[in-house]
Structure 1
Amino acid sequence: MQIPRPSEDSKEFFRAVIPEAPGVEVKPMFGNLGAFVNGNMFAGLFGDDLGVRLVDEDSLSALRAVPGVGPFGPAERPMGGYLALPPAWRGDPERATEWVSAALEQVGRLPAKQPKTRAPRKKA
């Protein structure tokens, strides 16, 4: 599977709609960007698509009903719980920020993700 890369404009837009809040960090992920709170991703880029993770079913249903919203991630294996925001919202960053903030609030209530422990390497 070929992972698409975001344009510089997409990276700039992404950073502009991510709230500056305690515990929020933006990190590179597979050539894209992800926004995390307490170790859990709440928003990300997949190529030029901006996706948000919503935990609340009512919120997921409401966003799914918006024209232009679609699955987020690889077409053959979209990420569950995530939706890609309409590309047209680039011209209306307040709408994107509203959903990114909702994702931050919902994912921020989840338990903090614990770092994975790595198994010791076997000697040859």
Structure 2
Amino acid sequence: MQIPKPSDVDKDRFRAAVPDNPEVVVKPMFGNLGAFVNGNMFAGLFGPMIGVRLSDADRETLEANHQTLPFGPEGRPMGGYVGLPETWNADEEQTAEWVEKAFTYVATLPPKAAKPRSSKK
């Protein structure tokens, strides 16, 4: 499976869209970036594409009114996430608005439980 690599411009655009909130953690994921709250990812970068995890109502609104894309590897998109329209790559305001909606929604979910570390014998 080929995983696209984001450019530095893509990474900067992603970081600019993520809310400036002390609860947000941005970390690398498979050469891309993910934004997390309470251990749950609410937005991710996959090559140049930003994907968000939205409430069902927000996702339906976004998909009904804009040209969204599957988010993740071709043929294996990430369930629950939607790729923001490519035309928004230059529209920081609209991208940030939907990333904020994703943050607000995912912040209401229960914190992700840490997986126990396996003991190596």
CA deviation profile, 1:47-89 (whole Å, cap 9, x unmatched):
11110011x2111111112332111001111001101111211
TM-score by length of 1: 0.93
- Aligned twin of 2:68: 69
**Alpha-carbon offset, residue 95 of structure 1:** 0.6
Q: Is 1:82 aligned to residue 81 of structure 2?
A: yes
Q: How many residues align?
A: 121
With normalisation by structure 2, the TM-score equals 0.95
Counterpart in 2 of 1:13?
13
Q: Which runs of 4+ in 1 moved over 2 A?
A: none
- 1:20-31 → structure 2 map (5 Å cutoff): 20-31=20-31
Q: Residue type matched to 1:120 in 2? A: S
Q: Which amino acid aligns with 1:59?
A: D
**C-alpha RMSD of matched pairs (Å):** 1.0
C-alpha distance in 1 between matches for 2:97 and 2:66: 16
Query: Which stretches in structure 1 are left out of the alignment for 5+ residues?
Result: none
Gaps of 5+ in 2: none
* Helix, strand or coil at the partner of 1:5: coil
- The percent of aligned pairs where both chains have the same amino acid is 55
Please state whether the residue corresponding to 2:65 is helix, strand or coil. coil
